[in-house]
Structures are given as structure tokens and as C-alpha cells.
Amino acid sequence: MYALVDCNNFFVSCERVFRPDLDGKPVVVLSNNDGCVVARSNESKAMGIKMGTPFFQVKHLVEQGRLHAFSSNYALYGDLSSRVMSILSDAVPHIEIYSIDEAFLHLEGVKPCEMQKLCRDLVAKVRRWVGVPVSIGVAPTKTLAKLASHFAKTYKGYKGVCMMDDDSKRVKALEMSPIGEVWGVGRRLVPKMQGWGVVTALDFARRPREWVSANLGVNGLKIWEELNGNACVTEENEDRRKSICTSRSFADMIEDVQELALRVSDFAALCASKLRREKSAAYDVTVFMYTNRFRDDLKQYFPSATIRLDVAANSAQEIVGTAMKCLRTIYRPGYQYKKAGVIVSNIVPADEIQGTIFGFDEELRSRQDRLSAVMDAVNGQAGSSMLRLASQRPGHFADGIRSDFRSRLYTTSLEDIIEVR
DNA sequence: TCTGGGGTCCTAGGACCC
DNA sequence: TCTGGGGTCCTAGGACCC
């Protein structure tokens, strides 16, 4: 059996840990740049605010005092997440951390009669020790556990834990679940399914195997098997990420290539730093840019360019230099750019970098590595923007990103901790 | 005025091989 | 008019996830 532990309205719950006065009140957390609503309390859901709503559409509610908004504070959420995960890790032999607010617990070795108690204890412990409410769904497959956690969240009587431990419960849950709530069935698939007369998860689970295979391929088949109780979503290979991306929207649109170059330098340098932190290196560097897709009155342009290095790299100099080359090939004047980003991919372990048959400049590489190590050491202590390349922006990475409602770094900044206390 | 960021996997089609 | 059969690998784009 699997237990899916899901933090309720996670970002909102994190903010409420330090603002208990907001319990029971409508709260939302916004994306970068205060752009969209990305987390909602139950009360703000009840007001009809949808996930992804542009903030400007609900800003008047904040001004009227009917809604409380927070800019996103990922340092806080990441820290509270690791506290939750550490409690969960202590409770069972094996756990898969699936996202910042979700984890699958493997319940092998736990007696069926003890599962519910174990989960209820966990709900209480996380609440008491971290302050965040969680829901747990227990079922024989991950897809069913996801559905169960949804019921755990919705029905008060479950006290945070929904057990789907026999077939009648499974069938009943499937019958009550619209097909779109199933893990792996997204926006595009829902209308298609409905066109085929598949409205509930049970409708789908009862279709013949051949029909599923013919219409939806291997992905659909996996979902179908899981809904029917046959576990086939296996453990993620969580060794090494396959790509790393750093991108941001700009508070204002940017046309000037010099200004874009500063931003793209920052993104590339951050990608390089993420690579080094994971002891990885990348062969491919991609730069992409978007104009503002919501402005019908402006010319649109969504270019991207990729350069493949002869030898995988992770130094700021090389990744940034390559990103600048990409930028030069795609930049066109006369467009208003709203967003840009850098992706590094084709990632290999840093200690397994191969030279080319023509050899490569090991002396240069070794100087870059030593410089990177010094930069990482200094920036690790003094803040990530203390040492940077001249091509990067002065100031902090987050400068120029709107965050008008940011809470304090309650758990990760000594200054903030002292001041708040 | 104002609309996020970071990932994974699958598939179809092209290039290439014998 | 007529133009094989069977593979592999890579890439771009789509769909999905949180």
C-alpha cells in the first residue's frame, strides 16, 4: 500500500504558521512578479477565485480588505517543506518526495490494522511540530492514493486520512470522481474523454483494455491499470535532473539588447551554479525569449536557440558566454520582450566529463573550476550576488521582480528571525 | 497598467543504416 | 506506369505534473 501525504493549500498554510490571525480568512499566495494566484485557502476557493487567476482581477478584493494576498516566499516554503519531509521520513522505511508539498510513503511491513493509526498520528505530528495541515490517502496504487487524499481533504469525517483498502471503497471512490480529477488526465484529455462518454473515473476503469490502448496509448493504459488496482507507476529515477531551467518574467517589457543581456547573464550564471551544486555539467545551453502574449496590439516573437558544447561545462564563464552567443543569434530589435530564460540540458556527472578526440584545454578548464569553487565559497557565505561576472546585473537577482506583499524570511534569515521575535 | 516557474515523459517524423 | 523492408537514433512538440 501507498500513502500519499499532501499538504493542504501548502503555501497559504506556510504563511499562516506565522500569521495565525489569518486562520479561517480568505488568503492567496501569488506567483513571481505578483502575477497569478498560485495557492488559495479554502475560504478564497469558496469565493470563486480560481487557480492561475491574474492578480489584477482580484486586487480590488485585497484593497477592500476582503482578501489577504502574499507574494511568494520560496525560501520559507522550501524550509517548512523539508521539516515536513523529515518527519515523514522518520515514520516509514521508504519515502518518495514527489514535490514541495507531497510525498509517497511505502507501507510495506506495516500491518493493515495499524496503517490508519500511523497516518492519523502523522497528521497530528506534522500539525503540532510544523504547523501545517496535511491530508493522507492510502491505497494499493499511487493513482488511487492520490484520489484517496482528495477525499481525505474534502470530507471532515475522515479526520485527514482516507483509507481505500477494499474493492468496494475503490469502486465507490471512482464513481464519485470526475475523470479530470484523475492523476494524469489533464485539460486536453477531459473534453476528449467526455466525447467518448467517459465522465467519471469509474467509466474509464470499466472500458476494455484494448479500447484504452487504441485511444490513449501507453500513458492511458498506465492510468487504467492503476485505477483498477494494479500498481505500475514505479519509482522515479531521482538520481540526476535531465535539464535545469532559470527563467523570469520582467516587471516591464524590455526591448534593449544590452538590458536583455544582463538578465540572460544572470539566468545563465544561476543555471551554472545549480549545475555545480548538483556536481553536474551540461552539454547544451538554450536561451529563449517571449514577447507579451497578452498584448494583441504588439508584434509577437518566441525565439529560442541552443548551442551544444564540445565538452560539458558548469562554470559561470562558459555557460554565460555560450548563452550570450545564443542571445545574439535570436535577438531582433523592434520587439518588446516580457520574459526570457536559460535551459541547460544533456547533463552528465561533473567527474565524468569527456574531452574530445582533439583534446581540450585542460589548463583553462582547471582555472575555471578553481574560480568557480572560490565564487561558490564566497557567495555561500556572503550571499549569492557578492561575486559575479561583469556581464551580470549589479544588485540582487530578484531586483526588478515585483513582490509587494512579501512576508519575512521567518526561518532562514537571522535578521528576520531576530526582528520578528 | 496588470497574466509564474520548473520539470518529466511520450510520440511522430526525419535522418540514417544495411 | 512503375519505386522494398526492416531497423535505430534523435529531435521537436505536445501533454502532463506540481
| Domains, chain A, with CATH or none | 3-76 (3.40.1170.60), 82-227 (no CATH), 243-382 (3.30.1490.100)
Q: A357: Cβ under 7 Å from strand B? A: no
Q: What is the pLDDT of residues A275-290, one digit of tens each?
A: 999 999 999 999 999 9
Q: Are A67 and A27 in contact (CB under 8 A)?
A: yes
- Nearest residue, CA→C1' of B8: A242
**Block residue for cell numbers 504563511:** A15
What does the pLDDT look like over A310-369, one tens digit per residue?
Answer: 899 999 999 999 999 999 999 999 999 999 999 999 999 998 887 776 667 888 999 999
Q: Is the CB of A221 under 7 A from strand B?
A: no
> Model confidence over A115-151: pLDDT tens digits?
999 999 999 999 999 999 999 999 999 999 999 999 9
Cβ of A185 near strand C (under 7 Å)? The reply is yes
pTM for the whole structure:
0.94
Nucleotides of chain B touched by protein CB (<7 A):
1-12
pLDDT at A240: 82
Q: What pLDDT, on the 0 to 100 scale, is given for residue A234?
A: 80
CB of A99 lies under 7 Å from some atom of strand C: yes
Q: How far is it, in rounded angstroms, from Cα A75 to Cα A410?
A: 9
What is the spatial distance, in angstroms and rounded to an integer, between the CA atom of A240 and the C1' atom of B14? 29
**Which nucleotide shows the minimum CA-to-C1' distance to residue A183?**
C17
CA distance readout (Å), A391 to A267, A303, A385: 11, 22, 13
Residues 293-352 of A with CB under 7 A from strand B: 294-295, 338-339, 341
A189 touches strand C (CB under 7 A): yes
Q: Which residues pair with A134 in a beta bridge?
A: A7
The tens digit of pLDDT for each residue in A369-385 reads: 999 999 999 999 888 88
The answer to whether strand C lies under 7 Å from the CB of residue A211 is no
The answer to whether strand B lies under 7 Å from the CB of residue A71 is no
The SS3 of residue A320 is helix
pLDDT in tens, A41-77: 999 999 999 999 999 999 999 999 999 999 999 999 9
**C-alpha to C-alpha distance for A313 and A158, rounded to whole angstroms:** 51
pLDDT at A235: 76
pLDDT 10s digits, A196-249? 999 999 999 999 999 998 899 888 999 999 999 999 888 766 578 899 999 999
